[in-house]
């Protein structure tokens, strides 16, 4: 048993650290630190910086333009990016569709789309969920009917994250309504410019705009945009879910949030002393810090196992459940620390030269409410428990 | 023993419930609660005319209520309706003005808005630690300092301001026009302000306001707890409705035992919340008022968060939207912990009692 990184891994860490120090613009890290929504350009700029170094597509093999990192190296990279307040890489093209195309795509699809993901020419979004198909994804009803060399798509997707920035969407569609639900689904690439597509914004609980509804009316999609065979979409979706689940514990982000809460609690005064000296608040903080410390190791243990076995196992659901709860607790603590100063909406109030609350109070309540999504999406924490019940408890 | 409301209170509760349901539905509430002036002046007046403020004031002062259960009946309904009208400020002000022997008829009529300006950035909950100072000057008083989280401050014509005067916690009245008022909306709806005082003239209302302020806050806590009970009842009902109607995997999600038990846990906690609120309302203005208010606010702070988070979680994505009323109930439930002392502050107060 040895919990430390190898000399090679340490050298890699230093390389990443050096790269970030030299290449992450303060303008971008400041925007991340401020905690609000990032605009499209900021995300694009960061992608371009990573792409120039060959580090954008962390999970891709070398021959497709990835760095060919091991799971542990990927973890180190994520960890360092969080420490430096780099933006989270938008996952839909790089972490979701890329690996799908590499595994299931035709040569033509790989050649057409992979470079455009790396260059930032394409921004993909994920069209899985529907109003009637959330946890029960296999019940999806968006229809694709073959007509000559096109599929004609009708239906509705929803919860499409950052669809407003995207030019393409990958969809699960029903191609065989007679088959068993899982057996009649196909994976389709759709250009959002195609006539018949309408995107409408959904405003979230905290007032932000990051998800959309997408309506399809007689949308003609070339059959060449089918990934894999017709009616094998479910297999692809399941493969993609395991990719979506790497780094699911979000340890780096929680470490960031922990430091922020500590800084806040040192600055805020409550009962005539810094809040961090309040034993009740400190106890809440300590409890989360202990959970996080354990989670770091749980995460590494599972990474290690994934590296040894060549793929993540069902126990990644543990990372999803506990990782999201830790992050949500930290967001709760930030909001709690600020008390009434967390309330201003949207963001801190300014009038003339007056600002309400400490300058870094902005967005804390909003982040707490927005963060409730993490235990709902990507397979809700209830669904993760069902998976664990089946796969690990064998009940 | 009698846990029934008196006929009068029962009537007040039903009238208010019906009125809010018909005249102040959630979409209208959302249209007014997040933009200046963060409430609906016409509804404020209509509710005042209905006697909502009068119910918070004792008969001797011209009202028709003022007891713990009058307050809890009113605020439970305001909670059910998710009403953003600044009645909490009116309640706190009425209590303080009555302690100072002042006339509250304009306040009760709804024609003059009052707001309590006591919290400060470094003393959001405990008035004994405020930094605002009052100095005697030329026969009057001048106040210097900065107040935060003044609920309903945008519409207030008069502020009741706490300040240290010759070492004591005193209460002053400051007209809005005399101070700098910076308003903002809140994430759970409604508005608040900062109040900046710079040698601002104030009229002394109470030389030693500590006791009156504590008593007013206890009444305010009963109000907030009752509001939370109303919010939780509606949230839970909306959740049960959703559990019955939303189907996944070919059945209503309410058939999954993993969700059933949690909905039952919420029911248990809501009943506990109702009980502690009743206890605090009964104890108000008596010798145990402080301890019971602290217990109630501590319990409510914990349970309101649980109910809000579980309601959202068990709805799934739909509760993450602005469109779904349940999200606004959740925000209010979470954020009211930060008014008049959060769950930890009140837990500490209960613990202080153990030392004796
Ligand atoms: C902010 C946000 C962003 C999203 N982004 C995307 C995106 O980009 N692309 C995309 O395709 N989707 C996206 N989603 C959708 C997300 O994946 C779904 O919300 C999720 O799958 C849950 O589905 P649902 O919301 O329909 O809830 P439902 O499935 O209706 O679930 C409601 C509740 O029932 C529980 N439940 C359901 N089945 C069971 C069961 N068998 N046992 C116990 N409990 C159960 C759930 O856990 C939940 O608590 C996003 C969602 C959100 C909130």
pLDDT at A315: 84
Q: Is the per-residue pLDDT at A358 higher than 70?
A: no
Quick one: average pLDDT of A265-273?
Answer: 92
Which helix (H) or strand (E) segment holds residue A153: the answer is: strand A150-158
Does the structure show a pLDDT above 90 at A389?
Answer: yes
- Nearest chain A alpha carbon to B130: A272
| pLDDT digits 0-9 by tens, B226-240 | 999 999 999 999 999
**CATH architecture designation of domain A250-391:** Up-down Bundle (1.20)
A16: Cβ below 6 Å to ligand 1? no
Mean pLDDT of the region B97-103: 98
Is the pLDDT assigned to residue A347 strictly greater than 90? no
Is B184 a residue whose pLDDT tops 90? no
Interval A45-75: pLDDT, tens: 999 999 999 999 998 999 999 999 988 899 9
Residues in chain B, overall count: 356
Residues 110-149 of chain A with CB under 8 A from chain B are: 129, 134-136, 139
Q: Are A149 and A222 in contact (CB under 8 A)?
A: yes
Q: What are phi and psi of B186, to 5 degrees?
A: -115, 155
Which residues, 6+ apart, have CB-to-CB distance to A31 below 8 Å? Answer: A38, A42, A87
CA of A159 to the centre of ligand 1 (A): 9
Assign A355 a pLDDT band (cuts: 50, 70, 90): low
* Residue A309 binned pLDDT confidence (cut-offs 50, 70, 90): confident
The predicted-structure confidence for A8-27, as pLDDT tens digits, reads as follows: 999 999 999 999 999 999 99
Q: What's the pLDDT score for residue A35?
A: 80
pTM of the shown model: 0.97
Confidence of residue A345 (pLDDT cuts 50, 70, 90): confident
The predicted pLDDT at position B91 comes to: 98
Q: Is A239 exposed, middle or buried (0-12, 13-18, 19+ CB in 10 A)?
A: middle
Q: At what angle do helices B87-99 and B210-245 cross, to 10 degrees?
A: 160
Fold of A124-232: Butyryl-CoA Dehydrogenase, subunit A; domain 2 (2.40.110)
Average pLDDT of the segment spanning A145-152: 98
Q: Give residue A274's region: left, alpha or beta (phi > 0; psi -120 to 50).
A: beta
The residue extents of the domains of chain A are 7-89, 124-232, 250-391
Q: What is the predicted pLDDT for the residue at A308? A: 86
Closest CA to B136 of B170, B159, B161, B102: B170
List of domains in chain B = 7-112 (1.10.540.10), 115-207 (2.40.110.10), 212-352 (1.20.140.10)
The model's pLDDT over A176-208, given as tens digits with 9 standing for 90+, comes to 999 999 999 999 999 999 999 999 999 999 999
- Rounded to the nearest angstrom, the distance between the alpha carbon of B213 and the centre of ligand 1 is 47
pLDDT at B228: 98
Closest CA to A187 of A139, A147, A238: A238
Set of chain B residues whose Cβ sits within 8 Å of the Cβ of A129? 317
Q: Looking at residues A352-373, what average pLDDT do you find?
A: 77
What count of other Cβ atoms lies within 10 Å of the Cβ of residue A125?
A: 28
| Whether the bond into A147 is cis, omega within 30 of 0 | no
Residue B5 pLDDT greater than 80, yes or no: yes
Best residue for ligand 1 mutational test, from B250, B310, B316, B320 (most atoms within 8 Å of Cβ)? B316
For residue A349, what pLDDT is reported?
53
A335–B184: do the CB atoms touch at under 8 Å? no
Contacts of B332 in chain A (CB under 8 A): none
**A-chain residue closest to B344, CA distance:** A280
Lowest mean pLDDT of A194-208, A355-369, B27-41, name the range: A355-369
Q: How confident is the model at residue A330 (pLDDT cuts 50, 70, 90)?
A: very high
| Cβ-based contacts of B120 with chain A (< 8 Å) | none
Task: Name the band, by pLDDT with cuts 50, 70 and 90, for residue A394.
Answer: confident
**d(Cα A317, Cα A284) in Å, to the nearest integer?**
25
DSSP string, A225-283: GEESSTT-HHHHHHHHHHHHTTTTT-HHHHHHHHHHHHHHHHH-EETTEEGGG-HHHHH
Cβ distance of A207 and B348 shorter than 8 Å:
no
**Among the listed residues A113, A58, A377, A93, the one whose alpha carbon sits nearest the alpha carbon of residue A225:** A113
The predicted pLDDT at position A357 comes to 59
Could you tell me what percent of chain B has a pLDDT over 90? 95
Which of A73, A79, A80, A244 is labelled catalytic? A244
The full 3-state SS of A185-220, as one line of letters, equals EEEEEEECCCCCEEEEEEEECCCCEEEEEEEEEEEE
In the predicted structure, residue A352 carries a pLDDT above the cut 80 = no
Q: What would you measure as the largest C-alpha separation in chain A, in angstroms?
A: 76
Which of B259, B317, B335 faces A159 most closely, judged by CB atoms? B317
Q: For residue A367, what pLDDT band results from cuts at 50, 70 and 90?
A: very high
Q: Please tell me if residue A356 touches chain B, with a CB cutoff of 8 Å.
A: yes
User: Is residue B334 scored above 70 in pLDDT?
Assistant: yes
| pLDDT level of residue A104 (50, 70, 90 thresholds) | very high
Residue at token pair 């470094």:
B122
The per-residue pLDDT for A113 is 98
User: Before A346, cis peptide (omega within 30)?
Assistant: yes
Nearest CA to ligand 1 atom 49: B314
**Predicted local distance difference test score (pLDDT) of residue A360:** 61
Band (pLDDT 50/70/90 cuts) for residue A175 is very high
- DSSP, collapsed to helix, strand or coil, labels residue B259 as helix
Handedness of CA B262, B266, B269, B271 (dihedral sign): negative
Contact B121 A358 (CB under 8 A): yes
Q: Is A9 a catalytic residue?
A: no
* Pick from B249, B309, B338: CB nearest A340: B338
- Please, what is the end-to-end C-alpha distance for chain B in angstroms? 31
Mean pLDDT of chain A: 93
CA of residue A323 to ligand 1 center, whole Å: 17
């Amino acid at each position: 048993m040895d919990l430390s990184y190898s000399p090679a891994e340490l050298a890699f860490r230093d390389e990443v650290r050096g790269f970030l120090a030299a290449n992450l613009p303060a303008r971008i890290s400041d925007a991340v630190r401020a905690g609000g929504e990032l605009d499209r350009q900021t995300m694009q700029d960061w992608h371009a910086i990573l792409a120039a170094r060959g580090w954008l597509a962390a999970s891709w093999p070398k021959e497709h333009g990835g760095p060919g990192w091991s799971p542990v190296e990927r973890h180190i990279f994520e960890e360092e990016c969080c420490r430096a307040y780099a933006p989270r890489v938008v996952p839909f093209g790089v972490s979701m569709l890329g690996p799908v195309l590499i595994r299931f795509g035709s040569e033509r699809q790989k050649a057409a789309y992979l470079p455009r993901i790396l260059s930032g020419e394409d921004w993909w979004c994920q069209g899985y969920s529907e109003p009637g198909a959330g946890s029960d994804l296999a019940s999806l009803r968006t229809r694709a009917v073959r007509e000559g060399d096109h599929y004609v798509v009708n239906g509705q997707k929803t919860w499409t994250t950052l669809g407003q920035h995207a030019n393409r969407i990958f969809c699960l569609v029903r191609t065989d309504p007679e088959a068993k639900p899982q057996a009649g689904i196909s994976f389709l690439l759709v250009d959002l410019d195609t006539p018949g597509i309408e995107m409408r914004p959904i405003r979230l609980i905290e007032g932000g705009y990051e998800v959309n509804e997408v309506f399809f009316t007689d949308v003609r999609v070339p059959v060449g945009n089918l990934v894999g065979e017709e009616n094998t979409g479910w297999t692809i979706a399941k493969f993609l879910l395991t990719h979506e689940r790497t780094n699911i514990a979000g340890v780096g982000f929680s470490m960031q949030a922990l430091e922020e809460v500590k800084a806040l609690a040192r600055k805020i005064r409550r009962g005539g002393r810094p809040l961090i000296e309040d034993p009740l608040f400190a106890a809440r903080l300590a409890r989360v810090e202990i959970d996080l410390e354990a989670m770091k190791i749980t995460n590494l243990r599972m990474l290690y196992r994934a590296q040894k076995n060549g793929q993540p196992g069902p126990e990644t659901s543990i990372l999803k459940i506990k990782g999201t709860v830790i992050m949500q607790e930290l967001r709760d603590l930030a909001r709690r620390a600020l008390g009434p100063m967390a309330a201003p909406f949207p963001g801190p109030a300014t009038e003339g030269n007056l600002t309400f609350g400490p300058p870094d109070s902005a967005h804390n309540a909003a982040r707490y409410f927005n963060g409730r999504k993490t235990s709902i999406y990507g397979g809700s924490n209830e669904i993760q428990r069902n998976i664990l019940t089946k796969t690990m408890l064998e009940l | 023993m009698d846990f029934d409301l008196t006929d009068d209170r029962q009537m007040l509760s039903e009238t208010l419930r019906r009125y809010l349901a018909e005249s102040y539905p959630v979409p209208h509430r959302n249209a007014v609660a997040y933009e200046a002036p963060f409430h609906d002046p016409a509804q404020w007046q209509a509710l005042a005319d209905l006697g909502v403020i009068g119910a918070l004031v004792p008969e001797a002062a011209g009202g028709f209520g003022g007891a713990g259960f009058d307050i809890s009946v009113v605020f439970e309904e305001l909670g059910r309706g998710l009403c953003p009208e600044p009645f909490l400020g009116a309640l706190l002000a009425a209590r303080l003005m009555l302690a100072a022997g002042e006339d509250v008829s304009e306040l009760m009529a709804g024609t003059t808005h009052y707001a309590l300006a006591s919290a400060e950035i470094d003393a959001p909950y405990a008035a004994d630690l405020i930094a605002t100072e009052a100095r005697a000057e030329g026969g009057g008083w001048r106040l210097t300092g900065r107040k935060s989280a003044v609920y309903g401050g945008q519409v207030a014509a008069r502020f009741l301001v706490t300040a240290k005067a010759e070492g004591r916690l005193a209460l002053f009245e400051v007209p809005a026009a005399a101070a700098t008022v910076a308003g903002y909306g809140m994430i759970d709806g409604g508005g608040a302000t900062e109040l900046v005082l710079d040698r601002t003239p104030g009229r002394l209302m109470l030389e030693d306001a500590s006791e009156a302020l504590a008593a007013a806050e206890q009444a305010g806590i009963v109000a907030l707890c009752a509001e939370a009970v109303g919010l939780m009842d509606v949230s839970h009902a909306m959740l049960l409705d959703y559990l019955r109607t939303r189907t996944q995997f070919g059945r209503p999600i309410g058939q999954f035992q993993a969700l059933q038990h949690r909905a039952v846990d919420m029911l248990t906690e809501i009943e506990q919340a109702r009980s502690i609120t009743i206890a605090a309302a009964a104890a108000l203005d008596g010798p145990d008022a402080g301890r019971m208010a602290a217990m109630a606010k501590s319990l409510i702070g914990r349970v309101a968060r649980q109910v809000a988070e579980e309601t959202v979680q068990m709805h799934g994505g739909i509760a993450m939207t602005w469109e779904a009323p349940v999200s606004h109930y959740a925000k209010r439930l979470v954020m009211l912990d930060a008014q008049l002392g959060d769950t930890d502050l009140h837990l500490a107060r209960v613990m202080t009692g153990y030392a004796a």
